[in-house]
Amino acid sequence: MLNGTTAEHVERKALRINPAKTCQPIGAMYAALGIHACMPHSHGSQGCCSYHRSHLTRHFKEPVMATTSSFTEGSSVFGGLANLTMALRNIFTIYDPEIVAVHTTCLSEVIGDDIPTIVGKSREEGGVPAGKYVIHANTPSFVGSHVYGYSNMIVSMVSYLAEKTGTTKNQVNIIPSFIEPADMREIKRMAALTGVPTVMFPDTSNVLDGPLTGKYQMYPTGGATVAQIKSSGDSIATLALGHFGAHNAAISLETKCNVPASLMELPIGVGATDRFINTLRTLGGGEVSAELELERGRLVDLMSDLHQYFHGKRVAVSGDPDMVIALTQFLVELEMKPVYVITGSPGNTFEKRIHEILDPVVPDAKIKQCSDLFELHQWIKKEPVDLLITNTYGKSMARADNIPFVRFGFPILDRAGHRFYSTMGYAGAVRLIDQMLNAILDHKDRTCAEEWFELVQ
């Protein structure tokens, strides 16, 4: 383990050390997996696709399928037209997907390949069979983050597939930000309990957390179908959960098909989940079920029972901006003090929103976008915290400074259960409380003096 971090903070503009993000194509590939019978395609070198697949595979502990244009030196000079044309023909011939979702990489973006023209040429030459679909998103790795790539691919789903037939369907679209398959399943479950018919896209539930049946499926049963995404243009409204990952797609759908967009944040904790359920109920004419009321009551009871363990605890939070914003609100509901809050993704909305949440309760909090874990560790070295919440990359600083640590967000590479257990809604908040409290009390048991080592905490 490397621990060269010092408490002396030096402002860096041209260098990121252990950045709290990864590149756009990973997000685009993940979003594409949320379409049923879709083959994600990386338009670039084979190494790019291999990295993106392996990173997702390590997080989800599931094999991630994707294809690549396999650029060589010649492609880098003369462009990737021949590579993508041949790739599409081979993909539909060998793997027979219903849809191919192409995303670009640094190399193809620098070259400036015109993907729509290449796809059109391939279709004219018979490389794309009748009744099959190809969509594309521009996702250069040298700008944005994986959350931006995810967002760009969903915008592509809307621009290529969504249709307005003139007949309004009694359904509400739900577009989630970059979250776990279990989170998407939980959001659908809560929506079903309101009685409102919904269409969620993308939807990776039952794709990257499916069962082991003994028979391999290239295209698992999960994912939003092309027909469902097409029907989103006829929906009553769209509920977009997350400014960075979901709002752009909802706005695009409103512009294209005149489907009203309701822009919200991810439903983590009491207040955000209340807003999600009430907005969905209002849009779709549903009602709050007794089961949801019971789940909310259990969460509030647990928060009341355990208040003394959380009150005033200093917390450092890092991760994807939409997840961090939602989690920070929940920490404030628990009367904890998020003193350091960062994301590696760009976007002024992050700092503005976190300030709105924290200025009334933690006015001296350090909040920063485009930051990295090295800088976060410098802050912690100078003024320690009681709890660290971030992805697997935070384990080094947790070990170095003996900090209670909760893994949260993407990627989690050294644990397995996260893809099965949601952090969304009232039930997800109960799980978060359990994780945080266990981390804090386990740390106390390990480090306290003998006379304070109690059986009952």
Please pick, among 110, 143, 361, 448, the residue that the annotation labels catalytic: 110
Structure tokens at 274: 């209340």
* Residue pair 154/224 in contact by the 8 Å Cβ criterion: no
> Cα-flanking dihedrals φ and ψ of residue 242, to 5°?
120, 120
Residue 402: DSSP 8-state: T
Give the integer Cα–Cα distance in Å for 285 and 198: 12
Alpha carbons within 13 angstroms on the beta-carbon side of residue 75 total: 20
Residue 106 annotated to the active site: yes
172 token code pair: 């509400």
Structure tokens at 422: 């949601």
> CB 73: neighbour CB atoms within 10 A?
7
Q: Is 312 helix (H, G, I), strand (E, B) or coil?
A: coil
The two three-digit tokens of residue 171, written as one number: 């359904």
Helix (H) or strand (E) holding 351: helix 348-358
Catalytic residue among 23, 38, 49, 106: 106
With contact defined as beta carbons under 8 Å apart, do 233 and 259 qualify?
yes
Q: Which of 130, 109, 116, 135 is nearest to 41 (CA)?
A: 135
CB 310, CB 317: distance < 8 Å: no
Phi, psi of 163 (to 5 degrees): -130, 150
Q: Which strands, in side-by-side order, build the sheet including 237-241?
A: 198-200, 172-176, 237-241, 261-264
Residue 453 φ then ψ, to 5°: -80, 90
**Is 257 assigned a catalytic role?**
no
State the catalytic residues.
106, 110
